[in-house]
Amino acid sequence: MANDSTTRPDGTMNRRRMLATSTAVLGGAVVGASAAAFRRVSEAAPAAAPQGAPNINPNYNPPVVQVRGGRLRGLREGRIYSFLGIRYAQAERFGLPRPVEPWDGVVSAQAWGPVCPAPKQTSVSGDELVFPHRYWIENEHCQYLNVWTPELNPNARRPVMVWMHGGGFTNGASMESYAYDGRSLSDFGDVVVVSLNHRLNILGTLDLSAYGSEYAGSRHTGTRDLVAALEWVRDNIEAFGGDPNNVLIFGQSGGGGKVVSMMHAPAANGLYHRVIAQSGGNNNYRQTDPAQSIRQQQTIAAHVLRNLNLTGSQIARLKEVPYDELIEAGTAALQSAAKELGVPRLGWSVIADDQYIMREFTDYANGVPLMAGAVFAEFGGTLQTGDQKNDWNQQEIDRRLTERFGARKDDVVSEFRQLFPHMKVQDVLYYSASSRPGVKNLLGRKLEQGRTPVYNYLFTWEYPINGGITAFHCAEIAFCFHALDVPQIALATGNSPEARQLQDKVAQAWVNFAKNGNPSQPGLEWKPYTPDDPQAMIFDATSQSVSLRDDRLVTLITSSSS
């Protein structure tokens, strides 16, 4: 590895949501920074600036940390030490991750590492105002993570919170959202925060196992990147003041699916100790047929080869195809393979093969505390409809409710008022009834072994912009990251006293769960969820844990929509 490298490899960052895609710009070789393990040595205290220096920048002599592979140079940002773009593994295309080779000298960890390439994005997402994004360098060699910590003391042993980004296994990155910056959460919660990139889409899930033992693990390369990152945390995080025996993994949307998939992965045993799944994670592994899933994935691979005019004997050439051509061939293969197999659609997904990913939770995961929840409207709120529902008069409200629910209107209104007395009756038009059964199914499956409590939440706070935006998919992320002071986030949230108070409650709950598996806090008791007493923390201007018995409301809404 090069000494004291401050340049970053090539590439560009992508969009987060599964519904969006991003521009792919591939570059050359990546210069990394770290290995799969470290010795606990810190060189954290920056030397004094020269005498007479007009401005003493804390980063004149920035912090340096020793990890097992070598030394890393980070940044001091206020109270927090930031180490960005740390390479946690390396891999060839379709190959399994392996430890980074040790290096001499000091490697820069002062800028984001490259992100995984993704399909080209050709339009601006509809949530850009309320959930603004950043775009960055793309490169297939994207195994990089970031660490924020209040103290570079190996004896500090603070809780560690590891974020797995959303975007499914199609797109996304650890830094794509302004809300993902872990500095504020680290400072607020006095915790170590980690975020990571990993291989996605055709790079992370293409099943080439039919073409030789070299590719036996190819359908899980992206998932194995996640495990490799957690192994790096286990082996290295003490140098950053973290406790490798107290690691929370949390993620939203596709990230929720990723953290739950870790509970299905025997290889992740001991690498994490608590899980938060936000608006995702109801992996339908239990109902899958491994043989059928493998057959589907191998059919996709066969169609990719055909689209590139390659045969099985030419499989090695697949490693040399430029990414733009590869993903184009892969996107077409998803459609043609689905048609051949007679299924509605196929995607870049992680399958349960009962080899690397089990259909059931692993035995060890039964002892891991879980929190899971959703937001009020998810994909069906005023962000999508543009409705100015807070300006409607009673006549307009009645008309809309009747139009939507017909003869069930009075029952729907009655149920909604009992469950959500703090909300306006017209809000029921946007209740994401389709998300609640999945959340409760996940919690119920986790409770089957009964070894640890589970907790449920529903985020209902309305963004005070454009007449009021109902809680949308991603709405709670800025709050759990304690990121409302970020200017791009403050634009939509208003950063009002009410919003800041809610942010404190949400972030504190996440931090408390990371610390001890119980999200309760003084003045805000959070009771565990059970099927008999389906407690949920309602996060709003006034937050409280309530028994959210909404099965009948969900049935009324879904039957009205059919």
**If we measure between CA atoms, which residue out of 372, 352, 354 comes closest to residue 285?**
352
Chain mean position to CA 31: 25
- Contacts of residue 185, Cβ cutoff 8 Å, sequence gap at least 6: 148, 161, 191, 193, 480, 481, 482, 483, 507, 510, 511
Interatomic CA distance for residues 562 and 548, integer angstroms: 24
H-type alpha helices, 342-393: 382-385
Look at residue 450 in the predicted model and tell me its pLDDT: 77
**Domains detected in the chain:** 290-341 (no CATH), 369-561 (3.40.50.1820)
Which residues in the chain show pLDDT less than 50?
1-45, 47
Would you report the helix, strand and coil content of the chain in percent, each value rounded to 5? Answer: 35, 15, 45
Interatomic CA distance for residues 112 and 115, integer angstroms: 9
pTM metric for this prediction: 0.91
What DSSP letter does each residue of 304-342 carry, written as one string? HHHHTT--GGGGGGGGGS-HHHHHHHHHHHHHHHHHHHT
Residue with tokens 């992320």: 477
Q: Tokens for 150? A: 């209040």
Interatomic CA distance for residues 501 and 405, integer angstroms: 36
Look at residue 50 in the predicted model and tell me its pLDDT: 55
Q: What's the half-sphere exposure (Cβ side, CA atoms, 13 Å) at 21? A: 17
Q: pLDDT tens digits for 212-268?
A: 999 999 999 999 999 999 999 999 999 999 999 999 999 999 999 999 999 999 999
- Contacts of residue 273, Cβ cutoff 8 Å, sequence gap at least 6: 245, 246, 247, 248, 368, 369, 517
How many Cβ atoms sit within 10 Å of the Cβ of residue 466? 13
Look at residue 562 in the predicted model and tell me its pLDDT: 57
Interatomic CA distance for residues 406 and 400, integer angstroms: 10
Q: Tokens for 365? A: 């995961």
562 forms beta bridges with: none
What is the DSSP pairing of strand 535-539 with strand 544-547?
antiparallel
Q: Tokens for 270? A: 């001991």
Look at residue 443 in the predicted model and tell me its pLDDT: 97
138 forms beta bridges with: 115
